[in-house]
């Protein structure tokens, strides 16, 4: 089955064909770093982490770019509150972002460009748009002339004439049309600023991403991602300015992740309805958070509640227990079934689900079905050690993308070996009919969260 993606631009699923065969350039709009990251930021990051991992699994050479908006009105306002330079605040928050995302097992992007470090490219792009007649200078600021652009609203479906109604020019703005947007903002007293052909100032939000896309990927980006809240006006305006400047299609596939909501409202700092990642990590394992956020379509909004997060932890434990039991069975199971049929079936179904617009929820359902079949074979005494190894192989490939299972095979690390040793001691006690000693071992392991299951092939263990 070919990989198909839901393209926001066309509003339908399409077979994926990158501009250059075998190579993918993906740009994901990152965070505006004026405060610490919350769980809503984690949803977007985890969704695109899995998308990038799957593209690499499919054999693509992926260049993944996620930017930091480190020059912005919110950053300046927050820095002024704290009495520190804006870029100092940004850098501190970027370090915190990386710390949080590393805890969530999110693989680092190929490049993390910052607006502040892309200033020559931004200024060159603004100058080019002025020279081509798509932008104009006014009192030290530069604005994009929206009515000069082609195909306004093709991503969002918004119509310019409808938006014009009620639009107005804010005090201090010198633009010709209420719909025009700033490419360059003249500096205000005390603000961070850079020299430019129009005087000291700083870039507008939209031009930052267009310049970083061009610098790190090229005129045309294979996949551009971000939250659904960015479709308008941010991504719409990116298209206008990039295609006007480059004379080339800007993005082949637009992917947008649904928002994390609380009481059907976006989780955000402005609404004060957010949970910081570092606070969530004090109460839940990172793999549980990943599993919770991936057990839903990336495109759909997800309503947050702690009951669902706790249930996700219990559901993940069921998969982990099967994985652990297979590791134990790989060493001592004496059945004859090599599980090839159920493994082949599971992996084909899993790949088909992931190739269908990264359907992680359905892919997880496939793994539950495999887990059920594996446990059935084991309980019936039919599973052989080779079969257990085959099942482990499917779980390992699943985990390369989802990264929600224990990082090391428990049966192979020191703790697993010690448990195996205790099971041998227990078995020897049972052979001596010292059932009191055997019961003590079972009880002590149970207190440590390890459950023993006696099978006709001997004892196996799993986490509770």
Q: What are φ and ψ of residue 150, in 5° steps?
A: -100, 155
How do residues 9-55 score in pLDDT, each as one tens digit? 999 999 999 999 999 999 999 999 999 999 999 999 999 999 999 99
Confidence of residue 247 (pLDDT cuts 50, 70, 90): very high
How do residues 370-424 score in pLDDT, each as one tens digit? 999 999 999 999 999 999 999 999 999 999 999 999 844 444 444 666 777 788 8
DSSP state of 69: B
How do residues 328-350 score in pLDDT, each as one tens digit? 899 888 899 999 999 999 999 99
Confidence of residue 456 (pLDDT cuts 50, 70, 90): low
- Between CA 64 and CA 62 the distance in angstroms is 6
Can you tell me the mean pLDDT for 140-147? 96
Helix and strand totals (H; E) in the chain: 15, 15
131-140 long-range Cβ contacts below 8 angstroms, 24+ apart? 132/244, 132/245, 134/241, 134/244, 134/245, 135/183, 136/176, 137/198, 138/174, 138/175, 138/176, 139/174, 139/186, 140/186, 140/187, 140/198, 140/199, 140/200, 140/201
Give how far the C-alpha of residue 122 lies from the chain's centroid of Cα atoms, to the nearest Å.
Answer: 27
Residue 438 near residue 306 (C-beta atoms within 8 A):
no
The pTM assigned to this predicted structure is: 0.86
How do residues 99-141 score in pLDDT, each as one tens digit? 999 999 999 999 999 999 999 999 999 999 999 999 999 999 9
Adjacent-strand bridge partners of 254: 224
β-strand 251-257 against 221-227: which pairing, if any?
parallel
Residue 38 near residue 274 (C-beta atoms within 8 A):
yes
β-strand 458-463 against 450-455: which pairing, if any?
antiparallel
Q: Which residues contact 191 (CB under 8 A, 6 or more apart)?
A: 76, 86, 202
């Amino acid at each position: 089955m070919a990989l198909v993606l839901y393209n926001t631009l066309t509003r339908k699923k399409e077979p994926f064909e990158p501009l250059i065969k075998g190579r993918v350039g993906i740009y994901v709009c990152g965070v505006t770093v004026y405060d610490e990251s919350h769980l809503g930021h984690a949803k977007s990051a985890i969704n695109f982490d899995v998308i990038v991992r799957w593209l690499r699994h499919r054999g693509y050479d992926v260049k993944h770019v996620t930017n930091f908006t480190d020059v912005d009105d919110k950053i300046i306002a927050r820095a002024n509150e704290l009495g520190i330079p804006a870029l100092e605040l940004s850098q501190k928050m970027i370090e915190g972002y990386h710390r949080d995302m590393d805890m969530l097992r999110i693989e680092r992007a190929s490049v993390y460009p910052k607006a502040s470090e892309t200033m020559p490219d931004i200024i060159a792009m603004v100058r080019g748009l002025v020279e081509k007649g798509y932008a104009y200078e006014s009192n030290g600021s530069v604005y994009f002339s929206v009515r000069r652009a082609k195909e306004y609203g093709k991503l969002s479906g918004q119509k310019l004439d409808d938006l014009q109604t009620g639009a107005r020019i804010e005090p201090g703005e010198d633009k010709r049309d209420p719909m025009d947007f700033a490419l360059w903002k003249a500096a205000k007293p005390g603000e961070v600023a850079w020299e430019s052909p129009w005087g000291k100032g700083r870039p507008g939000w939209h031009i930052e991403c267009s310049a970083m896309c061009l610098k790190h990927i090229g005129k045309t980006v294979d996949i551009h991602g971000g939250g659904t809240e960015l479709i308008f006006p941010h991504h719409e305006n990116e298209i206008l300015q990039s295609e006007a400047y480059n004379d080339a299609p800007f993005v082949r596939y637009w992917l947008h992740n649904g928002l994390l909501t609380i009481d059907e409202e976006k989780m955000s700092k402005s609404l004060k309805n957010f949970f910081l990642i570092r606070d969530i990590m004090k109460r839940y394992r990172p793999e549980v958070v990943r599993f919770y956020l991936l057990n839903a379509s990336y495109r759909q909004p997800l309503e947050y509640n702690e009951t669902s997060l706790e249930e996700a932890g219990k559901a993940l434990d069921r998969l982990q227990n099967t994985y652990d039991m297979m590791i134990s069975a790989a060493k001592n199971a004496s059945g004859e079934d090599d599980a090839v049929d159920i493994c082949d079936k599971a992996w084909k179904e899993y790949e088909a689900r992931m190739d269908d617009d990264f359907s992680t929820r359905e892919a997880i359902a496939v793994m539950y079905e495999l887990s059920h079949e594996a446990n059935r074979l084991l309980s019936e005494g039919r599973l052989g050690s080779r079969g257990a190894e085959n099942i482990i192989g499917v779980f390992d490939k699943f985990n390369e993308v989802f990264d929600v299972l224990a990082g090391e095979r428990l049966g192979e690390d020191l703790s697993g070996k010690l448990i195996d040793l205790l099971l041998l001691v227990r078995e020897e006690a049972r052979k001596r009919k010292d059932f009191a000693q055997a019961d003590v071992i079972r009880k002590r392991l149970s207190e440590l969260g390890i459950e023993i299951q006696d099978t006709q092939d001997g004892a196996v263990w799993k986490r509770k």
